[in-house]
Amino acid sequence: MSQATYVGTATLPLTALTLYPGNAKRGDIGTILSSLRRHGQYRSLVVQSIEPPPDATPPDPIVVPVPLSGQCFVLAGNHTVQALSRHGRGDCGYTFTEYGTHRPCGVCGNDPGWVPAARCELVRCDEDTARRINLIDNRAADLGTYDPDDLAELLSYLDEDYEGTGYQPADVERLLAPPPSIEELADTYQHPEAEGAWPTLRFSVPPEVRDSFYDLTATCPDLNDVGARFRCLLDRARNAAP
C-alpha cells in the first residue's frame, strides 16, 4: 500500500487515539488550545486506523459506513490532541463576547459532562506512508513564507482582538514598523566591524597591577594608546605560551 485510503470520519474519545511515535514537531500547545476555545475544532485530525477504533461516535452513519472498534495513530494533529487533553473533562469556564453575543468555549461548550474527544479523518496506510504523512504535515508549514502586506491587512480586520490567532499586539507592531536592517543601522550609526564600534573593556585593578601592565607593555610602539598596549600584552602572552 503506497497511498492513504480514506475510511471515514468519526468523533473519537482521546482514549482511542495514540500520538504518533517519534513525532519530531514540538508545537505551542497553549496557542492551539486558545484557538480551539475561541474557534472550536475547525480541522479534523488525520488518523491511521489500524483496526476500527473503539467507542467511536460517528457524527453521521452515512459518513462512516463501517463499525468502529480498535486503536488509531494520529498522523496529523498531534498537538491538537495534546491541547484537548490539557483542556480536560467538563466545563472549563471560558467564555467570550463576539459582536455583542456571549459565546461558550468552542471545545466543551461549557458542558459539565463533556468528555475530551476529537473529530478525525480515518485513513488506512502502511507504516512507510504513515511516516511520510507525519513528516510532510510538520514540514510543509515550515517551508512557507508570508507576504507582510497581506498579513497586515488580514490582522487589521480584527480590531486589535487577536485572541486565538497566535498573534500578539507586539507582533503586529513589528509587522507595521519592522526593525531597521543592518545596512540602515550602519548608515545611521556605524558598521559593526568599524573600529569605532568595537567593544570596550573597562575594569578596575590595584595600583600594582596597573604598574605591571605599563612595565610589560613599555616596548609597545604607541605608548599613548591603551588598546595598542593591551594587544601587545596579548601577543606577549601568546608567544610565551608553550
What is the average per-residue pLDDT within 41-69?
62
Whose cell is 472550536? That residue is: 40
* More reliable by pLDDT, 197 or 27: 27
| Residue 171 sits in the same domain as residue 61 | no
Model confidence band, residue 139 (pLDDT cutoffs 50, 70, 90) = very high
Count of domains for the chain: 3
pLDDT digits (tens, 9 = 90+) for 86-130: 999 999 999 998 888 999 999 999 999 999 999 999 999 999 999
pLDDT tens by residue, 210-239? 888 888 888 888 888 888 888 898 888 888
Helices (H), the chain: 29-39, 78-87, 127-143, 148-156, 169-176, 182-188, 207-216, 226-240
C-alpha cell at position 32: 492551539
Cell 471515514 sits on residue = 8
- 130 and 231 both lie in a single domain: no
- CA 225/CA 231 separation, integer angstroms: 10
53 and 120 assigned to the same domain: yes
Same domain assignment for residues 117 and 232: no
**Whether pLDDT at 61 is above 50:** no
Cell 558598521 belongs to residue: 191
pLDDT at position 71 over 90: no
Is 119 in the same domain as 161?
no
Let me know whether 10 and 92 are in one domain: yes
- Residue 62 above 70 pLDDT? no
Q: How many helices (H) and strands (E) does the chain have?
A: 8, 7
Same domain, 60 and 154: no
Residues 6+ away with beta carbon under 8 Å from 197: 189, 190, 191
Retrieve residue 173's grid coordinates: 507592531
- Confidence grade of residue 80 (pLDDT, cut at 50, 70, 90): very high
Q: Examine the domain organization and report whether 99 and 133 are in the same domain.
A: yes
Q: Rounded to a whole number, what is the distance in angstroms from the first to the last CA of the chain?
A: 65
User: What are the residues whose beta carbons fall under 8 Å from the beta carbon of 1, sequence distance 6 or more?
Assistant: 124, 125, 126, 129
Is residue 108 a contact partner of residue 90, using CB atoms and an 8 Å limit?
yes
Q: Are residues 139 and 23 in the same domain?
A: yes
Name the more confident of 63 and 172: 172
133 and 13 in one domain?
Answer: yes
Distance in angstroms (rounded) separating the CA atoms of residues 105 and 122: 26
* pLDDT tops 60 at residue 32: yes
**Residue 82 shares a structural domain with residue 195:** no
pTM, two decimal places: 0.67
- What is each CA distance from 150 to 138, 157, 170, in whole angstroms? 24, 11, 18
- Does the structure show a pLDDT above 80 at 56? no
Q: Which domain holds residue 136?
A: 5-144
Do 43 and 20 lie in one domain? The reply is yes
Q: Quick one: cell of 37?
A: 476555545
Strand partners of residue 96: 103
